[in-house]
Amino acid sequence: MSKFNQYRREYTLGSLEEGDLNPDPMALFKEWLDVAVAAEIPDPNAMTIATVNAKGQPSQRIVLLKDLHADGFVFYTNLGSRKAQELAHNPHISLHFPWHMLERQVRVCGTAQPLSRSAVAKYFFSRPKDSQLGAIVSKQSQPVSSRQMLLTQFAQLQQKYANGEIPLPDFWGGFLVKPEQIEFWQGGEHRLHDRFEYTKQADTTWHIQRLNP
């Protein structure tokens, strides 16, 4: 018999009531992100992002939320990567913030649009030099023969750019995810969790409804 049955607990940390809801889900998201940061959970800005390929096959991976705008969520990545290639064909995306230490999760559904080169450059040049070089060396999501190959290329670039500015590679970029739906989930006793789903309306206001747990 599986031992997974022993991993069972009640969710009692809090509740989410109608009165807690901000009419703007991005404002509520910011409140929840601030709580996750204050709680010192590891990587509070880590989010799982799901994309789909041409056959409709979803895949997911973690990336870091690097900026929060009034109209969306920003992350950076390699534009040749599987995720970026999939987004080029189908910009629909889902984000998931797994704050289970807080008995919370947030799901976002929306579309991803590429960031301008100037926005990408601003972030790229703010990164530590070695992270910039790592981004250049990695043909992300492509097969590579060995780790040694990567380390050799990295060392060569370290020498090459020892005294100069590292150029922004054209295969590196970022996306703004514009949400169409955002769900806030707070665990509740007896599996009676609180769930509120915001859906963007044609007039850009948000319709809010409570969902069954």
Ligand X SMILES: Cc1cc2nc3c(=O)[nH]c(=O)nc-3n(C[C@H](O)[C@H](O)[C@H](O)COP(=O)(O)O)c2cc1C
- Contacting range for ligand X; rule: CB under 6 A; set: 7-15, 79-87, 115-123, 178-186: 79-87
Tell me how far apart the alpha carbons of residues 50 and 186 are, in angstroms, rounded to a whole number.
21
Cα 186 to chain centroid distance, Å, stands at 19
Residue 33 contacts by C-beta under 8 Å, 6 or more apart in sequence?
44, 45, 65, 68, 97
Does residue number 64 form part of the binding site for ligand X (CB under 6 A)? yes
Q: Which residue from 16, 26, 36, 63 is in contact with ligand X, where contact means CB under 6 A?
A: 63
d(CA 78, CA 97): 21
Find the binder of ligand X among 28, 44, 73, 77 (CB under 6 A).
77
In whole angstroms, how close is the CB of 175 to ligand X at the nearest point? 10
Which of 8, 127, 191, 195 is labelled catalytic? Answer: 191
CB of 131 to ligand X, least distance (A): 10
Using CB under 6 A as the binding rule, whether residue 82 contacts ligand X is answered as yes
135 scored as a contact of ligand X (CB under 6 A): no
- Give residues with Cβ within 8 angstroms of 188, minimum separation 6: 11, 15, 194, 213
Distance of alpha carbon 24 from alpha carbon 32, whole angstroms: 13
For residue 111 the two structure tokens come to: 């579309």
> What is residue 141's three-state secondary structure?
coil
Q: Does 121 bind ligand X (CB under 6 A)?
A: no
SS3 155: helix
Compute the least distance from the CB of residue 126 to ligand X, in Å: 14
Q: Would you count residue 90 as binding ligand X (CB under 6 A)?
A: no
Has 191 been annotated as catalytic?
Answer: yes
List of residues contacting ligand X (CB under 6 A): 43, 46, 59, 61-64, 75-78, 81-83, 140-141
